[in-house]
């Protein structure tokens, strides 16, 4: 899609693909992609027109993954969901603003590559924030309502951010009460999504690993009546979880397919051959080459995904794909900063912590490294009075808006290209709002999540080891770590602790670090 708004506020539409639904009346028109829940009802392209033309609602009440483009009263409005699941890009010019949904160099005359973005791509395999590889093009921010129009030949561009993720440490109640609340919420979510998937009129399919999140999705949807769910796994020589995934499907009485594909060494050896096969379908190949630059999955993973599709077209097409594993991992604490990093975090070194955690694929020059760190601090908007909880929450928010989101976007775009729908149960707004109030010290090593799921799963599902071989259980070292962090946090809040006190140095450097590393 390519939209051009000129100084007369006339809107020109180019390259409008079939994956955008278009609705209009005498006063305005709308473009929409995605789905959402509103007032306990499920809306997607097929049942959307009356809702979208008749209502103006609070964006925070639209629970789902969507992008909405509205042209009304000579103004262009663009609403993105909280996670930016369906990204759009914009290019400001003197006499027009151009909106893209995909970036192809042939659509951008005289483009220039941004050197900092190129360095980010090398070191992390993605471009952070609203930046892109192209100097003159930016991405619309997640969770925003944007408005663009011209007034006396000047572009007026307003951006209102209606949501941003944050962690909280204000909950002082019993965590057992929170666990019960979470159990009720999980049932509500899976009941809603089970009913929604049935309305999408296509067979549902779930990639089932032996991890916690995929077995939670499978268990929850099956519990609430999605009996036609098919799970699938790819058989490769380096995935120990495949047999466990089959066992999970057997226990849940779900149809399970095990696709046999070449292992990674074969794929790497034959990468040029696979690329030639993809070139036969130029649309897919262009998508692979140009749009994989804005996500966080290595290009070899994308080639592998396309290879699966090429040799198993009959299965992959015309399905409803259920994803969201990363949403669950992120929310429940898997991607948090390490405990020893948390203890020594301050507004001066947070950019270094992010850089060391996520920019590890390629060693950059000191000049490029400093340029990226400067960009990170600008994105985080750090203040020297921020507490460690707030700083760590900012790191989590950055992780969500970059690593997590761009990985999910990559998967969803692939499903769209092969003509299938998708849905993300574990990115439900209710789950994110709930986890914002879970005490921070309960998130390390996913302690709260695991305790809750031990009560949600039946015993047979619980006892099947995870993909890495470990069972879903608590460990003494993890519990000890929670205790140490809880004590330090209370001391910090009461201003009894500074970075120079002996107790901080002793506990932070000697105890927590050694326990966590082991």
**CA 88/CA 485 separation, integer angstroms:** 40
3-state helix, strand, coil in the chain (%, to 5): 50, 20, 35
**CA 149/CA 152 separation, integer angstroms:** 10
Q: How many CB atoms lie within 10 A of CB 424?
A: 23
pLDDT of residue 197: 96
**CA 265/CA 402 separation, integer angstroms:** 29
Q: pLDDT class for 501, splitting at 50, 70, 90?
A: very low
Position 502 pLDDT exceeds 60:
no
Phi–psi pair at 98, nearest 5 degrees:
-115, 135
**CA 471/CA 454 separation, integer angstroms:** 11
Q: Which residues pair with 71 in a beta bridge?
A: 29, 76
Position 285 pLDDT exceeds 70:
no
Phi–psi pair at 145, nearest 5 degrees:
-110, 120
Position 58 pLDDT exceeds 90:
no
Q: List, for residues 180-206, the tens digit of each pLDDT value.
A: 999 999 999 999 999 999 999 899 999
Position 497 pLDDT exceeds 80:
no
What are the structure tokens assigned to 400, written together?
Answer: 């969500």
Name which of 228-232, 244-248, 329-333 the model is least confident about: 329-333
Mean pLDDT of 375-395: 78
Q: List, for residues 354-373, the tens digit of each pLDDT value.
A: 898 888 878 889 999 999 99
HSE-CB at 38 with a 13 A cutoff on CA atoms is 18
What are the structure tokens assigned to 413, written together?
Answer: 């775009």
pLDDT of residue 370: 94
pLDDT of residue 306: 62
> Looking up tokens 């107790």, which residue turns up?
503
Mean pLDDT in the chain? Answer: 77
Q: What is the pTM for the complete model shown?
A: 0.82
Closest residue by Cα to residue 292 from 123, 127, 138: 127
Position 271 pLDDT exceeds 90:
no
Q: How many CB atoms lie within 10 A of CB 250?
A: 12
Position 336 pLDDT exceeds 50:
yes
pLDDT of residue 393: 81
What are the structure tokens assigned to 307, written together?
Answer: 């290879």
pLDDT of residue 295: 38
Q: List, for residues 306-325, the tens digit of each pLDDT value.
A: 666 666 667 777 889 998 66
What are the structure tokens assigned to 483, written together?
Answer: 């205790």
Position 394 pLDDT exceeds 80:
yes
pLDDT of residue 383: 67
> Looking up tokens 């027109």, which residue turns up?
49
Q: Which residues pair with 4 in a beta bridge?
A: 12, 98
pLDDT of residue 109: 79
Position 468 pLDDT exceeds 90:
no
Position 68 pLDDT exceeds 60:
yes
Rg (CA), the chain: 24
**CA 112/CA 133 separation, integer angstroms:** 8
pLDDT of residue 385: 59
Mean pLDDT of 89-103: 90
Position 464 pLDDT exceeds 80:
no
pLDDT of residue 477: 53
Share of the chain above pLDDT 70, in %: 71
* DSSP E strand boundaries for 236-312: 255-260
Closest residue by Cα to residue 382 from 440, 373, 141: 373
Q: Which residues pair with 421 in a beta bridge?
A: 320
Give 111: exposed, middle or buried? Use CB within 10 Å, 0-12, 13-18, 19+: middle
**CA 119/CA 167 separation, integer angstroms:** 30
**CA 344/CA 485 separation, integer angstroms:** 12
pLDDT of residue 205: 93
pLDDT of residue 238: 54
Q: Which residue has the higher pLDDT, 502 or 171?
A: 171
Name which of 135-144, 153-162, 266-275 the model is least confident about: 266-275
Which of 135-149, 203-217, 407-421 has maximum average pLDDT?
135-149
* DSSP E strand boundaries for 342-447: 421-423
**CA 493/CA 485 separation, integer angstroms:** 12
Strands 75-80, 144-151: pairing kind: antiparallel
**CA 441/CA 307 separation, integer angstroms:** 42
> Looking up tokens 């399919």, which residue turns up?
205
**CA 447/CA 43 separation, integer angstroms:** 35
pLDDT of residue 157: 94
Name which of 43-47, 90-94, 462-466 the model is least confident about: 462-466
Share of the chain above pLDDT 90, in %: 27
Q: List, for residues 7-31, the tens digit of each pLDDT value.
A: 988 888 887 777 788 887 777 888 9
Position 212 pLDDT exceeds 50:
yes
Position 145 pLDDT exceeds 60:
yes
């Amino acid at each position: 899609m390519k939209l051009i708004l000129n100084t007369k506020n006339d809107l020109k539409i180019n390259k409008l693909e079939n994956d955008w639904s278009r609705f209009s009346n005498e006063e305005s028109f709308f473009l929409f992609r995605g789905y959402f829940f509103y007032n306990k009802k499920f809306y997607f392209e097929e049942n959307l027109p009356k809702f979208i033309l008749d209502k103006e609602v609070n964006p925070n009440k639209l629970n789902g993954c969507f992008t909405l483009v509205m042209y009304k009263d000579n103004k262009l409005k663009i609403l993105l969901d909280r996670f930016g699941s369906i990204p759009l890009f914009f290019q400001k010019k003197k006499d027009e603003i151009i909106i893209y949904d995909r970036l192809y160099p042939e659509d951008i005359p005289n483009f220039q590559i941004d050197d900092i973005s190129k360095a980010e791509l090398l070191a992390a395999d993605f471009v952070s924030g609203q930046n892109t590889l192209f100097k003159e093009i930016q991405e619309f921010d997640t969770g925003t309502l944007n408005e663009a129009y011209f007034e006396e030949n000047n572009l007026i561009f307003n951006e209102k951010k209606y949501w941003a993720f944050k962690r909280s440490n204000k909950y002082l109640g019993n965590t057992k009460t929170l666990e019960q609340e979470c159990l009720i919420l999980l049932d509500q979510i899976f009941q809603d999504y089970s009913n929604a998937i049935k309305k999408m009129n296509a067979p549902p399919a779930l990639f089932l690993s032996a991890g916690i999140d995929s077995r939670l999705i499978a268990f929850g949807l099956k519990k609430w009546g999605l009996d036609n769910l098919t799970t699938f796994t790819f058989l490769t020589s380096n995935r120990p979880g495949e047999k466990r995934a089959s066992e999970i499907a057997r226990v849940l009485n779900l149809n399970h397919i095990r696709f046999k594909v070449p292992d990674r060494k074969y794929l790497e050896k034959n990468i040029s051959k696979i690329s030639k096969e993809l070139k036969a379908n130029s649309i897919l190949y262009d998508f692979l080459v140009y749009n994989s630059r804005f996500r966080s999955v290595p290009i070899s993973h994308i080639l592998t995904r396309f290879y699966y599709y090429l040799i198993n077209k009959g299965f992959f097409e015309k399905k409803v794909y259920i994803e969201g594993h990363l949403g669950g991992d992120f929310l429940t604490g898997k991607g948090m900063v390490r405990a020893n990093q948390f203890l020594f975090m301050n507004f001066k070194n947070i950019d270094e912590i992010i850089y060391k955690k996520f920019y590890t694929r390629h060693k950059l020059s000191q000049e490029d490294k400093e340029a990226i760190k400067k960009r990170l601090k600008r994105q985080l908007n750090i203040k020297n009075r921020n507490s460690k909880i707030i700083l760590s929450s900012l790191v989590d928010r950055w992780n969500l808006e970059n690593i997590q989101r761009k990985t999910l976007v990559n998967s969803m775009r692939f499903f769209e290209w092969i003509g299938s729908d998708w849905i993300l149960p574990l990115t439900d707004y209710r789950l994110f709002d709930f986890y914002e109030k879970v005490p921070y010290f309960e998130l390390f090593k996913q302690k709260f999540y695991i305790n809750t799921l031990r009560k949600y799963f039946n015993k047979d599902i619980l006892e099947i080891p995870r993909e890495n071989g470990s069972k879903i259980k608590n460990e003494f070292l993890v519990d000890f770590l929670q205790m140490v962090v809880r004590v330090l946090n209370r001391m910090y809040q009461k201003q009894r602790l500074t970075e120079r006190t002996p107790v901080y140095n002793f506990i932070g450097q000697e105890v927590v670090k050694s326990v966590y590393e082991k």
